[in-house]
Amino acid sequence: MKQLYKLIFPLAALVLLVQCHSGGQPFSLKADAFAAKLEQTPGAILLDVRTPAEFGSGSIKDAQNIDFNAKEFKTRIAALDKSKPYFVFCLSGGRSKDAADYMRQNGFGAVYEMKGGLLAWKDSNRTLNGETSSRDKLPMSDYKKLISGDTSVLVDFYAPWCGPCRKMEPMLHDVARENKGNVSLVRVNIDENKQLAMELGIREIPVLKIYKRGEEMWTHNGLVEKAALLEALSKVK
């Protein structure tokens, strides 16, 4: 019986640990829940883990900026008070999830992350403090023109800070080059086209879409292998 208890107890602890770090656990919150929890939490500290340039274009009121991709990220995080509650966000949720995971793994007890990031925040009709008004480089009207031709159009929604986006970029150019005349590649930087991303429901990146004559034929979130992408393109008539 004792041996069975010794086996079950570590297993139960492992299950609890996995649950605490899964996407469905209470530390990962949608925009509305994130805002409500932030308001209800005394001494809450907001961390915007985007780049300084992104932060300068507008952020949530009272947020501090610690760039997740900067060399000094770990040093700056180590200097924070681990006993306080932290609310972490970025543009689409990827960097903030990684930052929050790192903080929890390094002794921070209460770290909340916002699912969907500022794209979801703005989609819920909330504003940003100090937001600068700027027009998308690619408005929806021009986007529709790009995808309306007879040739298949492969659209890559990316950002310069996105690791998976950078990893996939050479493969996408190879596919476009190898299928020249049949496939055209359009890369859309969501940092420069926030309104377009919101209108198209882009809440995370990378996102790939294939269009033919303006009709969306295929979409994929996250990394994709070259073989899978070529297969998807071969099915578009």
Catalytic residue among 88, 119, 162, 207: 162
Phi, psi values for residue 175, rounded to 5°: -60, -45
User: Alpha helices of 112-205 — where are they, by DSSP H?
Assistant: 117-123, 140-146, 163-178, 194-199
How far, CA to CA in Å, does 15 sit from each of 19, 21, 106, 112, 148?
6, 10, 20, 20, 49
- Residues 175, 230 contacting (CB under 8 angstroms): yes
- Write the single-letter amino acid at 122: K
Strand bridging mode 111-114 / 28-29: parallel
For 103, other C-beta atoms within 10 Å of its C-beta total: 20
Closest CA to 65 of 43, 45, 41, 39: 45
Annotated active-site residue 20? The verdict is: no
Catalytic option among 119, 165, 196, 208: 165
Residue 121 tokens read as 């925040």
End-to-end CA distance of the chain: 64
Q: How many CB atoms lie within 10 A of CB 3?
A: 7
Which active-site residues does the annotation give?
A: 162, 165
